[in-house]
Chains A and B, each alone.
Chain A
C-alpha cells in the first residue's frame, strides 16, 4: 500500500526559506521508473506542478520557479525534500507530494500540508 505524507512548517515568514519533507512507504525510490513530484495548490485555485526527482536522480523544475526550488531525495529514509527560497504571501498554498511510475500523471498523492506565508 502506497502512502505519502508531507511535513514541515505551517507558517513561514516572508523572505524565509521553506523546507518540506515527503515521507513515503509502500515503494522504494531506488526502483526503476519511480518518480516523485511536488505540487502546490493556493486556496481556491488550481494545482501547480513544482518539481520532480526520479529514481535515477534526474531532476526537473517549474520554469517560472526553478531559481527558487531545490528537490532532493534520501532513499535510506524514504524521503523527498523540497526547498523553496524567498517565500512570499503568494506562495501560501497546500503543498502536496505525489508518486508516479511514468511522470505523465500523478498516481498517488499525500494529504497535503497548508503553508501560510505571513509576517
Chain B
C-alpha cells in the first residue's frame, strides 16, 4: 500500500483559512468513511484533530473541519493562529484493519 498524497507545505496569514488535501485510492479513502487527521508539533507526538472524516474529539477547536469526496479528503483550518503552525498528517483505514498515513503537510503561519 502506498502512502496517501498530501502537499508538502501550505501557508497562510493569521485569521485566514487554509485547506490541506489528502488523496488516496478506491481501496482506502474511497472505500471507507474512516479518515482521520493528526497535528504534530516538533518533538511531540501526533494529536488527533479529526476522526471518521469530519468528527472532532472533545477539546479540539471548531476552527478545524474536514470533509471527503471520492478518493480525496480535506482538512480546513479557519481563523489561523500562530499555534496552528505544525505538521499535519491524514490517515485512512484500509483493508486488514491497517491505517495508512499521508506524507505530511507543513503548515506555516506567516
Binding site for B on A (CB under 8 A): 37, 45-49, 52, 60, 62-63, 96, 102-107, 109-112
Among candidates A62, A104, A110, residue contacting B36 with C-beta atoms closer than 8 Å = A104
Closest partner residue, chain A, to B102 (CB atom): A46
Closest partner residue, chain B, to A6 (CB atom): B45
Which residues on B sit within 8 Å (CB–CB) of A96? 45-46
B51 & A105 in contact (Cβ 8 Å cutoff): yes
B34 & A105 in contact (Cβ 8 Å cutoff): yes
19 contacts between A and B (CB under 8 A): A46-B3, A47-B89, A47-B91, A48-B101, A49-B91, A49-B98, A52-B97, A60-B97, A62-B98, A102-B52, A103-B97, A104-B52, A104-B99, A105-B48, A105-B52, A106-B38, A110-B45, A111-B45, A112-B45
Interface of A is mostly: loop
The interface on chain B, measured as residues whose beta carbon lies within 8 A of the other chain's beta carbons, has a size of 25
B36 & A105 in contact (Cβ 8 Å cutoff): yes
Q: In this assembly, does B63 line the interface, its C-beta being within 8 Å of a C-beta of chain A? A: no
Distance in Å: Cβ of A105 to nearest Cβ of chain B: 4
